[in-house]
Amino acid sequence: MEDEEMEKKVQQYLHRKGFRLTELALQEERNRLSTTSLSDVSLSRSDNDPARYYDGYNKLRTWAYSSLDQYKHELLRVLYPVFIHCFMDLVAEGHAQEARSFFHTFREDHELMHSRDLQKLEGILSPLHLEEMDLARSLRENKFRIKLCEYSYELLLQYLQKTQALVMLGIINERIIFEVSAGQPSLISDDVDVVALVGTSKDLAKQINQKEVHWGLLEDSVEERMEKALSDSDKTEAESKDADAEDNNKKKSSEGGKQGGPLKKLKKDKVVGATGKNNKSETSMVSAAPRVKPELTLPAMPIEVEQSILEDLRNRAQLNNLALPSVSFYTFLNTHNGLNCSSISNDGSLVVGGFSDSSVKVWDMAKTGQPAKTSSSQAQNGSSQGEHLSSTFEGKRPYTLFQGHSGPVYSAAFSPSGDFLLSSSSDSTIRLWSTKLNANLVCYKGHNYPVWDVQFSPVGHYFASASHDRTARIWSMDKIQPLRIMAGHLADVDCVQWHVNCNYIATGSSDKTVRLWDVQTGECIRMFIGHRSMVLSLAMSPDGRYMASGDEDGTIMMWDLSTGRCVSPLAGHNSCVWSLAFSCEGALLASGSADCTVKLWDVASSTKALKMDDTKAGSTNRLRLLKALPTKSTPVYNLRFSRRNLLFATGTLSLGSKA
């Protein structure tokens, strides 16, 4: 029996039995239910009205812009995530035309800070695009973290309650996590990490950054043994000088000569020598770094390699803001669309390039620049005829050709000794090559998507990779499977860098964050938030305390690993920062960019000021630009300081341009 027929029968029964009051109560209940159902239908129709997003966002925007200046810049932070999710909700509900109109109407508000995200989201035209685009999927699966002071947060809540802005309230409640702090609003100049995308899990940056990081150098390193040997030799030399001086003084006193002058001179020389040594040690951040034990089983260093390192340390030039390094720049000619990556060996003797035709080419700098220089330059083209020469002309080829990948090569890196070479490709593999045998030794398979970056550890044997599959992996040369998988980024892992003590690796991602991972546990122990575009380059300071990161917009940020805070953000370039490198004693930072410049920054003065006043916010410090070295039209691909503090750089020059 149908519900309507059942109710009719019940009403007839009550009427027949004379239950008048019960019949009236049933009638009122039926009328109330019908009224409620009609209101539900009208409400559902209004819920599907695309204009509610436009009206709700426009009112919120007007209110935020009309707020007091003291709180306005904090309240405006809420607009970007609300704008993004209003647009994506309209697309998801099938209102494509209204979504486009909404996007273009309010896009200008966020063009300055989030232009690259807006360029990507502009291509979303249907609900299917929301599922296919990585950025859109990441935005819908995770929440924004926004920092507000307590009073700004209360103002926002009062507005939402007073206006009954249900759509805006729903988006803010579902898509935003607020970090409310007591006290006054933050300064606009400190607005570097106030809006960031975080995972929906409890593993937030604040909780992660409370973990302990042992950022020092390895015990019993070559540098430490060198310092001990130098100190011992200095003591022996000083003792012998003292003994000689005493003998001379005894002779002079027996002869009746004056001894006051020589004694004063000897004391003065000893004081000057000690002061000079102290000044030299103060300029080096490495000597003051604490020592830590390795978490990985490190390989034994060959004697000849250790001797080579010691020789380089003895001949190392001391760099500072007054003594800048010499720069050797290598240019690849006519490879603008063929060269994807380049790298330089530790001593600068070898240069490698990874090309779109899946080839890897290594140049020996000792053989470059000889009589066949013109043909050598032309042969650097990714599609050069040198690849197709017969074996009789093999000796005339200006480079060593490695072939094995089945897709474009995106990264290449030499081992610390230069005996081995790693390359990664879009074919999802990593290959190990021998520069002595000129042969492929191993093909490592583990990633499921293109591998963007690969880097050897500072001691060799171990290496790390970064991939489109959102993971970084740690490998050893003698095993074909990864030892650790670091998962947690919300988008591609674009770059990877080892810590100097080999206990940690850092990863930069398209999700605009940098993470530090423990190689033993595979856990994320630091999350650095502040970049507004994908992170493309990383560098570790020689003492292991600081890390520099560069992004797609040209911003460079230096982080303190011990505290997890930003030391000095700066807009150093006007295009992608592709490479960063610290000098060997840590006093200088070099950056290479797509804006065709190499820039040198004064790190020592910034970190010294930070140590003198740890109570101040790190973002108030700025690295001082010491020198900009421009090229006419050659983007800088890679930078490296040799052990002797000579700076090497590589770049590519397109056809028809002048170097």
pLDDT tens profile 167-187: 888 899 888 888 888 877 876
DSSP designation for 451? E
pLDDT at 585: 85
116, 552 contact by CB (below 8 A): yes
Which SS3 state, helix, strand or coil, does residue 509 take? strand
Residue 78, pLDDT > 60, answer: yes
What's the CA gap between 144 and 69, in Å, rounded? 24
- Residue spans of beta strands (DSSP E) within 281-338: 291-292, 327-333
Average pLDDT across the chain, whole number: 79
Identify the bridge partners of residue 560 per DSSP, sorted by sequence position. Answer: 546, 565
DSSP designation for 521? T
Residue 612, pLDDT > 60, answer: no
Q: Which residue has the higher pLDDT, 230 or 220?
A: 220
Sign of the C-alpha dihedral computed for residues 143, 144, 150 and 153 taken in this order: negative
The per-type count for the chain, helices as H runs and strands as E runs, is 17, 32
DSSP designation for 401? E
* Residue 86 dihedral angles phi and psi, to the nearest 5°: -60, -45
Residue 380, pLDDT > 60, answer: no
Q: Percentage of residues in the chain with pLDDT exceeding 70? A: 76
Residue 193, pLDDT > 90, answer: no
- State the DSSP H helix or E strand holding residue 130, giving kind and residue range, or none if neither: helix 127-132
Closest CA to 525 of 64, 214, 230: 214
Q: Which residue has the higher pLDDT, 367 or 430?
A: 430
**Confidence bin at 451 (pLDDT 50/70/90):** very high
585, 641 contact by CB (below 8 A): no
Angle formed at CA 336 by CA 333 and CA 338, multiple of 5 degrees? 100
pLDDT at 182: 84
What's the CA gap between 627 and 321, in Å, rounded? 9
Q: Percentage of residues in the chain with pLDDT exceeding 90? A: 32
Residue 616, pLDDT > 50, answer: no
pLDDT at 287: 61
pTM beyond cutoff 0.75: no
Q: Which residue has the higher pLDDT, 601 or 270?
A: 601
618, 300 contact by CB (below 8 A): no
- Residue spans of beta strands (DSSP E) within 320-376: 327-333, 339-344, 350-355, 359-364
CA distances from 239 to 173, 236, 645 (A): 74, 5, 32
What's the CA gap between 6 and 4, in Å, rounded? 5
- Condensed to tens digits (0 to 9), the pLDDT of residues 143-159 reads 888 888 888 999 999 89
pLDDT at 532: 82
594, 537 contact by CB (below 8 A): no
- Condensed to tens digits (0 to 9), the pLDDT of residues 517-555 reads 999 999 999 999 888 888 999 999 998 899 999 998 888
424, 409 contact by CB (below 8 A): yes
Burial of residue 251, with CB atoms counted within 10 A of its CB: 0-12 exposed, 13-18 middle, 19 or more buried? exposed
What sections of 68-110 are H helices per DSSP? Answer: 69-75, 79-92, 96-106
**Confidence bin at 578 (pLDDT 50/70/90):** very high
What's the token pair of residue 113? Answer: 């800070």
What's the CA gap between 89 and 87, in Å, rounded? 6
Q: Which residue has the tokens 């029968």?
A: 9
Burial of residue 362, with CB atoms counted within 10 A of its CB: 0-12 exposed, 13-18 middle, 19 or more buried? buried
Residue 240, pLDDT > 80, answer: no
445, 467 contact by CB (below 8 A): no
494, 410 contact by CB (below 8 A): no
Q: Are strands 143-149 and 195-198 parallel, antiparallel or unpaired?
A: antiparallel
Residue 208, pLDDT > 90, answer: no
Per-residue burial over 7-44, b if 16 or more Cβ lie within 10 Å, else e, is eeeeeeebeeeeeeeebeeeeeeeeeeeeeeeeeeeee
Q: Which residue has the higher pLDDT, 273 or 36?
A: 36
pLDDT at 234: 55
Q: Which residue has the tokens 């993971």?
A: 471
pLDDT at 284: 54
For the sheet containing 143-149, what is the strand order?
A: 176-181, 143-149, 195-198
